[in-house]
């Protein structure tokens, strides 16, 4: 009896692992059969009354070997995700674009048509790896655009750990039939998705062109938190796109610069975004969109990319407005997603040494699933002389940036998740601050001492006490909110409309941590049933309307909405997006004064270095 109980308990634990690992259902069946066979063998041996210790030991070995083999064999297959959630969706009428005819599918109530997996460039494979994106090829017949294309090549999180993240972090894990797969991934990834309100017969609609985040080394446009069905229902066309990430998107080398007709290297992911934006301008009219009323938007590394598009000479006249959430590359020394060209080349050297490649052309021969395992850091844009000919702050100081109006902002606890592994104490606090502030760490420690009370917390992460909470506060400001502070200031200096926010709404999912605003702003709270309250739904409706109004007019304000005051030389407040929406002073203003000093010192070093070259 005890033996049977042990086998049953082990089998149940095994089935839990299979569920969290998204193994196929056949794996469950085989696992149960293996357990039943184990119990049957034990029953048979006991009935025969034989000396069974040695045989039973072999059975245990066989039991675990078979379970392990079953787990490997029945692992989750790759699958392209359906463009809509409803099964057997109705197909749209044919739409003609420059490359050919295509159809999409309708969501359940037919309020939105989704056209997913539309190619905007040739597959960047083979000889086209590490090259600027090429125009897409025409196709014959009618292309069925009913599934999201594979995500760009990236290090994939193990499904088991991904499930734990949804249990412990998002708190939205569901045990259900039909999710036994991992999303398809391929180097052939340059596709975009278009969400169109159905039945609209008026003037051409404004367009949101959204760029996903992921530190420039991960992410995909199919992610549920920024799908565009709800925003489309409010009278805009929503487009998002994939782009090359990691080593495929941001590897730089002089030999590539030499072979490029544009003298570029290191910004392939950024050039992909520009190619997608150009495709939208050329074709969005076929979906009812206005190519002259495009707003570019993005979050995290997507926001850094939006900032880069605003500064790139290649995008002049290609869009009207910009929405940036939780990042920019405007500091004199950007904290992330941007690096000097010399640093980019050094990391490129590292990649070639890692794979024994004498040249970049040799790297083109390395299999994509092998190249993606590089240990080198390849997640930053650079000054390539083409897409970005100068430091972005220089472009803004010249007034050569393109956005005519800006909506931007940050969340309450931006850096906390990124600092989970930091063990901050009173003794090492200044040392940790030096990584972000250099010689100004001690001054910051006086302003934000390691005895600062820990911030309120919904998230399951243990912040580790006062020193950790203080470190989170400083890094959240330096890495994420300070870049928006200076972005807003540049817009004010140029007398352009600028609206800034601070999202602080607590909830039981990821609260106001990094990316917490996404399902609110893009209308996807409904994808997490039972986890958001009526207060959350109300705030989401307001935020969506702000975003849509801004896309339509360059001003988020509208009838029935709390007034969002524009930033100006005389108006320094930003809007606090919470249960109570109000205009408040930026909570990090005092911190910015010290970051300014550090950034000024870094600019002086850069200019002195340039003068000596």
HEC string of 226-280 equals: HCCHHHHHCCCEEEEECCCCHHHHHCCCHHHHHHCCCCCCCCHHHHHHHHHHHHH
- Strand-pairing partners, residue 299, are 325
Longest dimension (CA), the chain: 92
C-alpha to C-alpha distance for 106 and 534, rounded to whole angstroms: 28
Percent of the chain at pLDDT > 70 equals 97
- The region, left, alpha or beta by phi > 0 then psi within -120 to 50, assigned to residue 498 is beta
Question: What is the chain's percent helix, strand, coil content, to nearest 5?
Answer: 40, 15, 45
In 404-533, which residue ranges form alpha helices assigned H by DSSP? Answer: 429-437, 441-447, 466-476, 482-493, 518-521
Given a contact cutoff of 8 angstroms between Cβ atoms, the answer to whether 136 and 275 are in contact is no
Q: What is the mean pLDDT of the chain?
A: 94
Structure confidence by residue, pLDDT tens digits, 579-594: 999 999 999 999 999 9
User: How many angstroms separate the Cα of 128 from the Cα of each of 70, 378, 447?
Assistant: 39, 18, 51
Residue 2: pLDDT band (50, 70, 90) is confident
C-alpha to C-alpha distance for 102 and 51, rounded to whole angstroms: 70
CB neighbour list of residue 329: distance below 8 Å, 6 or more residues apart: 304, 307, 308, 337, 338, 381, 392, 483
pLDDT, position 481: 98
- Asked if residue 253 has pLDDT above 90, the reply is yes
Structure confidence by residue, pLDDT tens digits, 218-243: 999 999 999 999 999 999 999 999 99
- Strand-pairing partners, residue 481, are none
Q: What is the DSSP code (8-state) at residue 409?
A: E
- Asked if residue 454 has pLDDT above 90, the reply is no
Given a contact cutoff of 8 angstroms between Cβ atoms, the answer to whether 521 and 544 are in contact is yes
pLDDT, position 505: 97
C-alpha to C-alpha distance for 425 and 416, rounded to whole angstroms: 15
> In this structure, how many other beta carbons lie within 10 angstroms of the beta carbon of residue 459?
21
CA atoms within 13 Å, Cβ hemisphere of 159: 20
Q: Please, what sign has the CA dihedral across residues 543, 547, 552, 558? A: positive
CA 231 to chain centre: 19
C-alpha to C-alpha distance for 190 and 59, rounded to whole angstroms: 50
User: Taking CA 323 as the corner, what is the angle to CA 279 and CA 198, rounded to the nearest 5 degrees?
Assistant: 55
Given a contact cutoff of 8 angstroms between Cβ atoms, the answer to whether 148 and 221 are in contact is yes
C-alpha to C-alpha distance for 99 and 283, rounded to whole angstroms: 10
- 14-25 mean pLDDT: 95
Q: What is the dihedral of CA 277, 218, 527, 510, to 10 degrees?
A: -120
C-alpha to C-alpha distance for 57 and 42, rounded to whole angstroms: 11
pLDDT, position 455: 53
pLDDT, position 177: 87
C-alpha to C-alpha distance for 572 and 566, rounded to whole angstroms: 9
C-alpha to C-alpha distance for 465 and 455, rounded to whole angstroms: 9
Task: List phi, psi (to 5°) of 178.
Answer: 110, -5
CA 38 to chain centre: 46
Helix axes 589-611, 429-437, angle to 10 degrees: 50
C-alpha to C-alpha distance for 517 and 515, rounded to whole angstroms: 5
CB neighbour list of residue 186: distance below 8 Å, 6 or more residues apart: 149, 150, 151, 152, 153, 368
pLDDT, position 390: 97
C-alpha to C-alpha distance for 474 and 310, rounded to whole angstroms: 27
- 404-419 mean pLDDT: 96
CA nearest to 237, candidates 277, 204, 212, 213: 204
Given a contact cutoff of 8 angstroms between Cβ atoms, the answer to whether 382 and 344 are in contact is yes
pLDDT, position 464: 46
- Asked if residue 246 has pLDDT above 50, the reply is yes
- The region, left, alpha or beta by phi > 0 then psi within -120 to 50, assigned to residue 297 is beta
Given a contact cutoff of 8 angstroms between Cβ atoms, the answer to whether 518 and 527 are in contact is no
What is the DSSP secondary-structure string of 356-367? T-SSHHHHTTS-
Structure confidence by residue, pLDDT tens digits, 37-87: 988 888 887 777 765 677 778 888 899 999 999 999 999 999 999 999 999
Given a contact cutoff of 8 angstroms between Cβ atoms, the answer to whether 424 and 450 are in contact is yes
Task: List phi, psi (to 5°) of 50.
Answer: -85, 165
- Asked if residue 493 has pLDDT above 90, the reply is yes
Q: How long a stretch of residues is the chain?
A: 613
Q: What is the DSSP code (8-state) at residue 76?
A: P
User: How many angstroms separate the Cα of 585 from the Cα of each of 100, 207, 491, 590?
Assistant: 52, 31, 18, 11
- Asked if residue 457 has pLDDT above 80, the reply is no
CA 56 to chain centre: 51
CB neighbour list of residue 205: distance below 8 Å, 6 or more residues apart: 197, 235, 236, 237, 288, 289, 290, 293
pLDDT, position 32: 96
Please state the pTM of the whole predicted model: 0.95
> In this structure, how many other beta carbons lie within 10 angstroms of the beta carbon of residue 48?
9
- Strand-pairing partners, residue 406, are 322, 498
Q: What is the three-state SS of 91-141?
A: ECCCEEECCEEEECEECCCCCEEEEEEEECCCCCCHHHCCCCCCCCCCCCC
Structure confidence by residue, pLDDT tens digits, 113-161: 999 999 999 999 999 999 999 999 999 999 999 999 999 999 988 899 8
Structure confidence by residue, pLDDT tens digits, 262-304: 999 999 999 999 999 999 999 999 999 999 999 999 999 999 9
Residue of higher predicted confidence among 177 and 324? 324
C-alpha to C-alpha distance for 575 and 563, rounded to whole angstroms: 9
pLDDT, position 165: 84
Residue 612: pLDDT band (50, 70, 90) is confident
C-alpha to C-alpha distance for 514 and 476, rounded to whole angstroms: 9
């Amino acid at each position: 009896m005890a033996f049977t109980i042990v086998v049953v308990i082990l089998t149940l634990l095994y089935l839990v692992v299979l569920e969290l690992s998204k193994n196929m259902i056949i794996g469950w069946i085989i696992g149960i059969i293996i357990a039943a066979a184990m119990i049957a063998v034990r029953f048979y041996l006991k009935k025969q009354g034989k000396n069974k210790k040695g045989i039973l030991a072999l059975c245990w070995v066989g039991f675990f070997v078979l379970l392990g083999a079953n787990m490997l064999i029945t692992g989750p297959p790759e699958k392209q995700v359906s463009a809509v959630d409803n099964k057997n969706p109705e197909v749209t009428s044919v739409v003609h674009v420059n490359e050919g005819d295509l159809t999409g599918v309708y969501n359940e109530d037919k309020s939105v048509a989704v056209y997913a997996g539309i190619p905007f460039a040739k597959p960047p494979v083979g000889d086209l790896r590490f090259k600027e994106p090429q125009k897409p090829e025409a196709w014959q017949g009618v292309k069925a655009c009913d599934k999201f294309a594979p995500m760009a090549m990236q290090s994939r999180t193990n499904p088991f750990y991904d499930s734990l993240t949804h249990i412990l972090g998002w708190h939205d894990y569901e045990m259900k039939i039909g999710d036994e797969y991992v999303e398809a991934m391929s180097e052939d990834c340059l596709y975009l998705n278009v969400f169109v309100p159905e039945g609209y017969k008026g003037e051409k609609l404004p367009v949101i062109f959204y760029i996903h985040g992921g530190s420039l080394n991960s992410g995909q446009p199919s992610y549920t938190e920024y799908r565009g069905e709800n925003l489309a229902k409010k009278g805009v066309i929503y487009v998002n796109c994939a782009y090359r990430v990691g080593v495929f998107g941001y590897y730089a080398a002089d030999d590539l610069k030499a072979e490029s007709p544009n003298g570029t290297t290191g910004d392939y992911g950024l050039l992909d975004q520009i190619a997608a934006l150009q495709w939208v301008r050329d074709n969005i009219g076929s979906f009812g969109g206005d190519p002259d009323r495009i707003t570019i938007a993005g979050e995290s590394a997507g926001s850094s990319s939006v900032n880069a598009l605003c500064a790139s000479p290649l995008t002049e006249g290609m869009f009207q407005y910009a929405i940036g959430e939780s990042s920019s590359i405007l500091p004199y020394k950007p904290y992330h997603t941007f690096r000097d060209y010399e640093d980019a080349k050094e990391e490129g050297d590292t990649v070639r040494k890692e794979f024994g490649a004498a040249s970049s052309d040799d790297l083109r021969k390395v299999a994509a699933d092998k190249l993606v395992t590089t240990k080198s850091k390849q997640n930053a844009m650079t000054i390539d002389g083409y897409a970005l000919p100068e430091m972005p702050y220089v472009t803004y100081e010249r007034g050569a940036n393109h956005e005519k109006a800006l909506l931007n902002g940050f969340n309450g606890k931006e850096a906390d998740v990124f600092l989970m592994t930091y063990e901050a104490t009173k003794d090492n606090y200044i040392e940790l601050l030096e990584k972000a502030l250099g010689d100004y760490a001690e001054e910051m420690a006086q302003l934000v001492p390691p005895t600062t009370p820990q911030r309120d917390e919904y998230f399951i992460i243990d912040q580790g006490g006062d020193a950790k909470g203080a470190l989170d506060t400083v890094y959240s400001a330096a890495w994420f909110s300070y870049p928006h502070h200076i972005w807003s200031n540049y817009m004010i200096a140029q007398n352009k409309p600028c609206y800034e926010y601070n999202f602080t709404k607590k909830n039981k999912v990821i609260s106001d941590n990094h990316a917490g605003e996404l399902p609110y702003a893009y209308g996807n709270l409904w994808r997490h049933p039972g986890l958001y309250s009526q207060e959350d739904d109300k705030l989401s409706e307001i935020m969506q309307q702000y975003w849509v109004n801004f896309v339509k007019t360059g001003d988020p304000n509208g009838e029935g909405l709390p007034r969002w005051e524009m930033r100006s030389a005389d108006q320094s407040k930003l809007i606090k997006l919470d249960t109570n929406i109000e205009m408040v002073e930026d909570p990090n203003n005092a911190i910015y004064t010290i970051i300014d000093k550090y950034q000024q010192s870094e600019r002086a070093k850069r200019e002195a270095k340039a003068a000596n070259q």
